[in-house]
Amino acid sequence: MTSLDRRSALLALARGGCALAALGTGCGGEWRQAVVLAPPPEGAACSGAPPPGTAEQGWVEVRLEDHPALATPGGHAEVRLPEALLDVVLVHVSPGCFVALWRICTHGDCAVAWLPDEGVMECPCHGSRFAQDGQILQGPARRPLTAFTAVRKENSVFIHRPR
Ligand code: FES
């Protein structure tokens, strides 16, 4: 299925039609909100955020060469840095703009996954969904995922992990 077909199917789903068949998952499943990947809102890390500070100030460097998928808008990578108490999905949401979302579901102990075609995080255990700012789109989770400021600088992305 092309990305255009997939987008059309998602829009049909949002209008109430049964587009799940077009996605190859069959009809009759529960409705899920379709969210089209969009640039982050005004004030997000890529629009006016200050440059990253020092490690002592809680900025953690993620080198793009260690996660080549992040070089392209739409790319994402799981970033686990135990020494920084950081376990996130880092997403290149639009050219030069990144978000970092905590990778463990707030409902339980499952690792959430980024769905690039829909621009959401989804938990495989009970289906909670989170927007790219971490807010809940669908339960059963009742608390948002923590979103960390992420700023591109040269060949790295710096994530602010307050201590
Ligand atoms: S553990 Fe994620 S929805 Fe239940």
- Respond yes or no on whether the N-terminal peptide bond of residue 140 is cis (omega within 30° of 0): yes
Mean pLDDT, the chain, integer: 75
Residues of the chain with CATH 2.102.10.10: 52-163
- From 30, 110, 122, give the residue whose CB has the most ligand 1 atoms within 8 Å, as the site to mutate: 110
> What percent of the chain clears pLDDT 90, i.e. is strictly above it?
46
Q: What phi and psi values does residue 50 have, to the nearest 5 degrees? A: -70, 160
The half-sphere exposure of 136 on its side-chain side, counting CA atoms within 13 A, is 12
71-105 confidence digits (pLDDT tens): 888 899 999 998 888 899 999 988 888 999 999 99
Answer with the residue of higher pLDDT: 163 or 74: 74
Please give the Cα distance from 118 to 162 (Å, whole number).
29
What are the structure tokens assigned to 134, written together?
Answer: 């971490």
Query: Residue 156 and residue 2: Cα distance in Å, rounded?
Result: 31
- 160 CB within 6 A, ligand 1: no
What is the rounded average pLDDT of the residues 44-48? Answer: 56
Residue whose CA lies nearest to ligand 1 atom number 1: 108
Q: Which CATH class is domain 52-163?
A: mainly beta
pLDDT at residue 157 in the model: 92
Higher-scoring residue by pLDDT: 18, 35: 35
Ligand 1 site, residue 140, Cβ cutoff 6 A: yes
On the question of pLDDT at 131 being above 90, the answer is yes
| Residue keyed to tokens 């993620």 | 62
How far apart CA 96 and CA 128 sit, in angstroms, is: 28
Comparing 39 with 139, the larger pLDDT belongs to: 139
Distance 145 CA to ligand 1 centre (A): 12
pLDDT at 21 over 70: no
CA distance 79 to 21: 34
